[in-house]
Amino acid sequence: MSVVLVGFLLVGVFPTRAWLAQRDELSARHEELAALEQEQDAIEEQVERLQTQEEIERIAREEYGMTREDETAFRMLPGAVAPVDLPDTWPFTGTDDWLNR
C-alpha cells in the first residue's frame, strides 16, 4: 500500500505542483513581456517625435530657454518674501532679525 502511495506522489502530485509553478511563472513573464512591448512602443514614438523640427524647437524653448534670433526672452523673478513677525519672547529672541535679513 505504501509503495502505491509513494508511486502516486511521484507520478501525480509532484509533477503537478511543478507544472502549476511553471504555469504561474509563464503567466508572469507574458505580463512582463506585454509591459516591455508597450514601453518599447512609447520609446519608438518618442524617437519619431524627436526627429521633427517642431519637437526639437519645443524642447529647446522649454528646457533650455532658447529663443529665435528675432525674439527677446524675459525671465520672471520670484517676488520678495514677506518679513517674518515673531514674538519678542524666548525662544524667538533674535530669530526675527536673523530671518528678515
Residue 67 has a pLDDT of 92
Residue 85 located in a structural domain: no
Is-contact 49 41, C-beta < 8 A? Answer: no
Residue 7 located in a structural domain: no
- Quote the mean pLDDT of the chain: 85
Residue 33 located in a structural domain: yes
Number of domains the chain is built from: 1
Higher pLDDT, residue 101 or 42: 42
CA 101, CA 96: separation in Å to the nearest integer? 9
Domain carrying residue 62: 15-66
* The total number of residues written for the chain in this structure: 101
Residue 3 located in a structural domain: no
Residue 32 located in a structural domain: yes
Q: Round to the nearest angstrom and report the end-to-end CA distance of the chain.
A: 92
Report, as an integer, the average pLDDT of 87-94. 71
Is-contact 80 74, C-beta < 8 A? Answer: no
Residue 60 located in a structural domain: yes
Residue 26 has a pLDDT of 96
Residue 10 has a pLDDT of 63
Residue 27 located in a structural domain: yes
Measured CA distances, 55 to 36, 64, 67 (Å) = 25, 13, 14
CB-hemisphere CA count at 13 Å for 63? 6
Residue 40 located in a structural domain: yes
